[in-house]
Amino acid sequence: MIKVCKFGGTSMADGINFLRVKNILEIDPARRYVVVSAPGKRFGGDGKVTDLLYETYREVKEGGHVGEAYAKVAERFRSIVHEAGVAMDIEALLFETALSIEAEQAEDFTASRGEYLAGRIMAALLQIPFIDARDVIKFDALGRPDARTYDLLRDRLRGLRRAVVAGFYGEGPDGKVKTFSRGGSDVTGAIVARAAGADLYENWTDVSGFLACDPRIVPNPAGIRRLSYRELRELSYMGANVLHSEAIFPVREAGIPIQIKNTFRPEDEGTRILPDKGFVPSGRPVTGIAGKKNFTVIFLEKSLMNTEIGFTYRVLEVFKRHNISFEHIPSGIDTMSFVIDSEQILPDLEAVEREISEAVHPDKIGVIPDMALIAVVGHGMSYNVGISARLFTAIARTGVNVRMIDQGSSELNIIVGVENVHYERTVRAVYEEFFGSEI
């Protein structure tokens, strides 16, 4: 049995937490490979080491040398080593790191040093080897880990019973350090799990797994015990952000389950994310509700639109020209709507409207601003006729007008568009309907 464990920023925030991580690892001998994030916040208002490193980069760019921000980074690591009682020469490592940051003068390299240093310290604490992600995770020109990555990692891990791997970065095709997007240590963990042929990818964080809805909207929502990869994808795309949205791909392909665990409450069960094939829903029709605000919808009406060859193509060409991606295209026989992130479309809105009119001469073109989308997700909804009736009745009861509905062909989710101002009220109504007895 092999488990790969990734620990997030809060789990790495101070020396006491490093010791907590050590305990968690030593309790279970299957926990062989460890992926670490950079230390995160210790308390509200505290800085994250990665943010301080981005600041360090700005200092180096302006003055050529590391300054105050790096001094804060150094202090964080110094106190971790001290608090956790790690036997190592931290001063030499911090000095050497400062020199390398000044020599490289590169943003990604600087940002990656949080994971690098955290990994070096964790390896010293556990007295096991450290693997520099730069040597084993190689990015292609599009910024995705390339084919060599798995071979390199597999070879490295084969010889090691246990090891610590630094999260968040690898090496680009130009030989320079490159990072994933923020929160990317989750992706590193998934890659290591796949390369190690792990039976389980444990993702240790500061919450006990996914919740059925945003706790800022509904206090104490039900926890989700089991999720399929696809449900997870839908929920995290729509804003449930426990896990980096790209972290599922490496493990999904290999069918490795993910277990979300809480470093601060290891006894809590957490959420298990399982392959879609053979996934048995919990018996509840809805698994979770997620959503986001601030979308703009452009809707078009044209008689006999369905028979006009190339209609959608011509509209999409306009979006392409403006470099705008869309989220959904709900459509009827003579109508079609494009749902777009407002931040992307607003600067170009007038031009886009004009160019679409010129391209397809619609009978009507209109814009609905300030829309929120709510995704109601669950395998249990498939082919369950009564579910949408319950959903829309619940929303109607609160007096909210549904402006848009989109149901994917998988029937795994229903997306409801309402005005931003009705967002919270709608989420609450949907939660009450499907989870009400647990409030």
Enumerate binding residues for ligand ASP (CB under 6 A). Answer: 9, 37-38, 48, 50, 114, 167-168, 182-186
Q: Which is nearer to ligand ASP, 119 or 221 (CB)?
A: 119
**CA distance linking residue 388 with residue 244, whole number of Å:** 29
Minimum Å gap between C-beta 313 and ligand ASP is 38
Shortest Cβ contact with ligand ASP: which residue?
185
Q: Which is nearer to ligand ASP, 178 or 379 (CB)?
A: 178
Q: Which amino acid belongs to residue 131?
A: I
Minimum Å gap between C-beta 165 and ligand ASP is 13
Minimum Å gap between C-beta 211 and ligand ASP is 20
**CA distance linking residue 69 with residue 439, whole number of Å:** 45
CB 173 within 8 A of CB 141: yes
Q: Which is nearer to ligand ASP, 262 or 287 (CB)?
A: 262
Minimum Å gap between C-beta 337 and ligand ASP is 34
Q: Which is nearer to ligand ASP, 50 or 296 (CB)?
A: 50
Q: Which amino acid belongs to residue 118?
A: A
Minimum Å gap between C-beta 87 and ligand ASP is 25
Q: Which is nearer to ligand ASP, 48 or 233 (CB)?
A: 48
**CA distance linking residue 428 with residue 435, whole number of Å:** 10
Q: Which is nearer to ligand ASP, 190 or 395 (CB)?
A: 190
Minimum Å gap between C-beta 39 and ligand ASP is 9
Q: Which is nearer to ligand ASP, 13 or 371 (CB)?
A: 13
Contacting residues for 212 by C-beta, under 8 A, at least 6 apart: 221, 222, 223, 224, 286, 287, 288, 289, 431, 435
Minimum Å gap between C-beta 335 and ligand ASP is 41
Q: Which is nearer to ligand ASP, 176 or 182 (CB)?
A: 182
Minimum Å gap between C-beta 55 and ligand ASP is 13
Minimum Å gap between C-beta 331 and ligand ASP is 37
List, in sequence order, every beta strand (DSSP E) within 167-236.
169-171, 177-179, 200-205, 226-228
Handedness of CA 286, 287, 293, 294 (dihedral sign): negative
Closest CA to 249 of 329, 161, 324, 189: 189
Closest CA to 18 of 112, 119, 96, 113: 119
Specify the pairing of strand 3-7 against strand 271-274. unpaired
Q: Which is nearer to ligand ASP, 114 or 119 (CB)?
A: 114
CA distances (Å), origin 113, targets 130, 284, 375, 384: 14, 44, 37, 50
SS3 293: strand
Q: Which amino acid belongs to residue 392?
A: F
Consecutive H or E run containing 30: none
Phi/psi region, residue 386 (left: phi>0; alpha: psi -120 to 50; beta: rest), is: alpha
Alpha helices in 49-106 (DSSP H): 49-63, 68-84, 90-104
**CB neighbours (10 Å) of residue 298?**
22
Q: Which is nearer to ligand ASP, 185 or 426 (CB)?
A: 185
Minimum Å gap between C-beta 278 and ligand ASP is 30
Closest CA to 294 of 232, 366, 371: 371
Contacting residues for 58 by C-beta, under 8 A, at least 6 apart: 69
